[in-house]
Amino acid sequence: MIDLSTLRPGRILVCQQRQIGDVLLATPVFELLRKRFPDAELHLFTEKKCEPLLRHNPYIDVFHLIDRKDGFFRQLAFYRKVASQKFDLVIDLQQLPRCRMMTLMSGAPARLSFPSNIFSRLRYNCLVVPQEGYASQTKVSLLAPLGIRWNGEAPRIFLTEDERVRAKELLAACGLNKEHRLIAVDSTHRRASKRWPAERFAELMRRLAQKDASFRFLLLRGPGEDEDIRRLRERCLALGLAPETMIAPEPLPDIRLSAACLAEAELLVGNCSSPRHMAVALGVPSLVIPGASGTAWKYPSPLHRELRPVLPCQPCSKTECADPQCLLRVTPEDALTAALDLLNRSGTSHAGREDDNDR
């Protein structure tokens, strides 16, 4: 194992392959590397699908985007091309097979990661036991040999002014005006053990609308989730919620425009998925029903809250559960109380958030 305390790298490669939320959570690594090595060139190795949310990030100089659909020989040529950049330091945050391959082929004199198995010392010459806590904190903790510490830095999304304008225009075309208060709702998740029942989201929205008729609900969705949103709308309508209170832009906006729309909201209410990380990155308060998810995904701030019942099995991180009490014990009334408290606590106008989060 080598000593990195005196290293002055000119070119650094960070490997974080996926998923979108995980890659977003790695953005504090770049911010802190830039502060520590202001003259270094910072590169990111990730998947093509993860790049959009990191676009315009001033701390990332070069993206190396792999397409998992490419065949073996095309991927091998990609690794060789990236390795030709001659990095002084490679930081592997994930150790997925492609990250390991990229690290090995880089030939970098300094290769930093965490101990995972008996082969770790063959791939890396600086190993750090990561610090448990918020996911970004854990990633940054690997940089300790470089003299870098986490001081609460949140993930960041850097929106352009044009994207903000387009989002306002899109929401206005969906009926949102200055008198309305926008709440983003992330009701979907591919894992049932991490998905609060849709009927409870509908009941929460009904109760919020009763409290304040100016509330409008932005129904977030990803590719292939249109049917989930249709069923949620039907439940809301059956409960008497007016159609105009629900906003679901058509066609599905790309992820950056979706992020710009989320930035207009006063609050995000949802499951444990990438929108919660986007909310943190955009300065939007969030209320999450995490279900089986672990505790590492909550940013430590009173403006980002989880509703997590105290259970002996919590958190389990299971993908399936026959009796998900971690979800079922969270009632719409619980969520209503927490949502109203967050809305009152934030007390921040959209303009104020823009000034602090023009990202």
Residue 351 has what pLDDT?
37
Question: Does 65 map to a domain?
Answer: yes
Residue the block writes with tokens 């030709």 = 84
- Radius of gyration of the chain measured on its C-alpha atoms: 21
Same domain, 169 and 78: no
C-alpha dihedral sign at 71, 74, 78, 79: positive
Taking 3-state DSSP, the helix, strand and coil percentages for the chain, each rounded to the nearest 5, stand at 40, 15, 45
Question: Does 151 map to a domain?
Answer: no
pLDDT digits 0-9 by tens, 93-106: 999 999 999 999 99
Question: Does 61 map to a domain?
Answer: yes
Same domain, 347 and 231: yes
Which of 2, 88, 83 lies closest to 37, judged by CA?
88
Which domain does 322 fall in, by range?
161-356
Same domain, 207 and 312: yes
Same domain, 205 and 121: no
Whole-prediction pTM value?
0.93
Helix (H) or strand (E) holding 43: strand 41-47
Q: Report the mean per-residue pLDDT for the chain.
A: 94
Same domain, 140 and 166: no
Same domain, 133 and 280: no
| DSSP E strand boundaries for 48-145 | 62-66, 89-92, 110-113, 126-127
The domain tally of the chain equals: 2
pLDDT digits 0-9 by tens, 12-46: 999 999 899 999 999 999 999 999 999 999 999 99
Same domain, 183 and 218: yes
Residue 131 has what pLDDT?
96
Residue 68 has what pLDDT?
83
Residue 349 banded pLDDT, cuts 50, 70, 90: very low
Same domain, 139 and 177: no
**Residue 355 pLDDT greater than 50, yes or no:** no
Domain boundary among the residues 146, 179, 201 is at 146
Alpha carbons 302 and 285: distance in angstroms, whole number: 9
Same domain, 191 and 323: yes
Question: Does 156 map to a domain?
Answer: no
Same domain, 175 and 297: yes
Same domain, 136 and 198: no
C-alpha dihedral sign at 107, 112, 113, 114: positive
Alpha carbons 313 and 237: distance in angstroms, whole number: 36
